[in-house]
Amino acid sequence: MRIRRAEARDLPSILAVEKACFSRDVAFPADTTSFLLDEATTLVAEDDEVTGFVMGFVNGEWSKVVTLDVLPERRREGLGKKLMEALEEEFVSQGARATLLEVSVENREALALYVKLGYAKAVLVEDYYGTGKDAHLMMKRLEEIGAPMRK
């Protein structure tokens, strides 16, 4: 498995992973995903095919994880952790000192991953994913992250 920067040709694979990971009411539509691929820092994990991806932005000293997706059949292999660590390195290389993300209060696996990576719950965001579907806003300081990812 390797992690690399996403390219335009990865869009169909990224859309397939997004569809496999999130219900239709939560998944990003194709046009939004295409926009994010063009504008966000996007990294993919791949073997022979894309098995996961992560997207995020940097604005000054703050960064934001937009989404982390790993195919359900490939979870619990450390791909999400590796993708997040690589994205955090990219954030630091772009000047970020802290990062934010939102995660469903019901997504216990993702919550456990983010806590393991050093994220702390900052605030509960009610109805973030729709009526009655709350999220935790989580934060992490990035000062201790290592050198930027190499291509």
pLDDT, tens only, 17-40: 999 988 887 788 899 999 999 999
Name the token pair of 100: 């934010």
Q: Which H helix or E strand runs over 70? A: strand 62-70
Q: Tell me, what's the pLDDT at 145? A: 56
Name the token pair of 19: 């569809």
| Alpha-carbon span 14 to 85, nearest angstrom | 19
Report H helices in the chain: 11-21, 30-39, 79-93, 108-116
| Alpha-carbon span 109 to 148, nearest angstrom | 27
CATH architecture, domain 2-100:
3-Layer(aba) Sandwich (3.40)
Name the token pair of 18: 């997004």
Place of tokens 């919550």: 111
Give 17-25's long-range contacts (Cβ < 8 A, gap of 24+). Answer: 17/50, 17/51, 17/52, 17/53, 17/69, 17/70, 17/71, 18/67, 18/69, 20/69, 20/71, 20/72, 21/69, 21/70, 21/71, 21/72, 22/69, 25/130
Q: Tell me, what's the pLDDT at 25? A: 78
The 10s digit of each residue's pLDDT in 40-88 is 999 999 998 999 999 999 999 999 999 999 999 999 889 999 999 999 9
Q: What would you report as the CA-atom Rg of the chain, rounded to the nearest whole angstrom? A: 15
Domain map of the chain by residue range? 2-100
